[in-house]
A = this chain, B = another copy of it.
Amino acid sequence: MSSSSTRLRRAGALCTDATWLGRADCHHCAVRKDVLFGELEDLELNAILEPIDQYCHPPHSVLYHVDEESSHLFTIRAGLVKLVSHRADGTLRIVRLLGRGDVVGLEAMLGGRYEHTAVALARSDVCRIPAAALRRLDARSPALHRRLLETWRSHLTRADESITELSTGSVRDRVRNLLIFLQRATQDRTGALALLNREDLAAMIGVRVESVSRVIAEAKRNGILRPLGGERYQLDRQALRAWQGQTPSV
């Protein structure tokens, strides 16, 4: 068998850069209540001296690289970002998927270097916040402070979930959990989920592309995944649970 995970995707031809959308206007931000500054007073917000910039990241563009000096955090206004860990043998593993309202680059709060590479999977609008500004706010605003702790907790909970649900059991077990996970992470008002490409799916559960492909293809044949066009699918939760009997357990 040997290793799982995925090799580095060749330097994509379409890896365009992020485009700057201008200074953020947090006071009038439409998603402010869903992200870090939700409960912050306007007064407190004004205490930020450093600029917060907005960017639009096309798919495959990089928010930051592993080992880069961590100077900024990012909040996701819309889109989807993967945190990729580079293993010693050159393979990759996706350790987290982050979406609207999530914070990327938390480690910048503590200085040092980024621990992963953050890559946009879908077009993503993000606000780039200087870590120094957040540190200052963190010290002054209990509301933000609590929000930050909750962000840490959220990352930790998801990491643990990734260990117990996405890295344990047979490929079919993992894909079953992955589909539920993706539905939560990418669903729109209709409840449809956006499937990632096979390489990313494989890197999320630590198996080979062909193995995921077989299982996903099976799910489609069984009507567990019904194509809605593009990469969007309707997930039949009931059929999903019944799929291949329970976990054989033991």
Contact = CB atoms under 8 A, between A and B. Distances in A.
A90 interface: yes
A159 B246 CA distance: 27
Nearest to A1: B170
Given A163-B162, A168-B167, A157 B5 contact: no
Contacts of A146: 110
Interface residues of A, number: 48
A6 to B, nearest CB: 10
Interface in A64-101: 85, 87, 89-91, 93, 95
A107 B248 CA distance: 32
A168 B4 contact: yes
B2 A247 contact: yes
B93 A164 contact: yes
A33 B85 CA distance: 32
Interface in A134-161: 138-139, 142, 145-146, 149-150, 152-153, 155-157, 159-160
Contact of A2 (B89, B150, B250): B250
Closest 9 CB pairs of A and B: A2-B248, A167-B167, A159-B159, A152-B152, A3-B169, A89-B247, A168-B206, A85-B164, A3-B247
